[in-house]
């Protein structure tokens, strides 16, 4: 069980971010996090009628290589730090 949890740790982190953060940002502002420059999250939100206040492209802005597991602790730290920084920008507006 520990191996499964460790292997899918990034999945759980992203799941928590998706479930907890969006409801807060709909009220305060909106941050979208995209994995690559195609910006699917941003385009999807805009198509649904939401304007994003902050935008992160993980592979471009944070130079994290794209992979399907995202199980590198330094990469997760970079993403977490960038999300926190962008959240603070939204709160400061």
pLDDT of amino acid 75: 85
Provide, for the chain, the percentages of residues in helix, strand and coil under a 3-state DSSP scheme, each rounded to the nearest 5.
60, 10, 30
Backbone Cα Rg of the chain: 14
**C-beta separation of 83 from 20 below 8 A:** no
Q: What is the mean pLDDT of each run of 10 residues along the chain (93 residues)?
A: 58 59 60 88 87 90 81 83 88 76
SS3 54: strand
Give the number of domains in the chain: 1
pLDDT of amino acid 3: 60
Q: How far apart are CA 23 and CA 17, in angstroms?
A: 10
pLDDT of amino acid 57: 92
Question: Is the pTM above the cut of 0.85?
Answer: no
For 14, the token pair is 């992203």
pLDDT of amino acid 36: 87
**Could you list the residue range(s) of the whole structural domain that residue 27 is in?**
2-92
The sign one gets for the Cα dihedral 62, 11, 54, 49 is positive
């Amino acid at each position: 069980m520990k191996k499964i949890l460790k292997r899918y740790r990034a999945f759980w982190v992203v799941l928590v971010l998706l479930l907890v953060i969006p409801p807060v940002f709909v009220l305060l502002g909106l941050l979208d996090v995209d994995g690559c420059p195609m910006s699917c999250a941003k385009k999807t939100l805009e198509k649904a009628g939401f304007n994003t206040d902050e935008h992160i492209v993980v592979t471009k802005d944070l130079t994290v290589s794209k992979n399907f597991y995202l199980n590198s602790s330094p990469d997760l730290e970079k993403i977490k730090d960038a999300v926190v920084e962008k959240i603070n920008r939204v709160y400061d507006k």
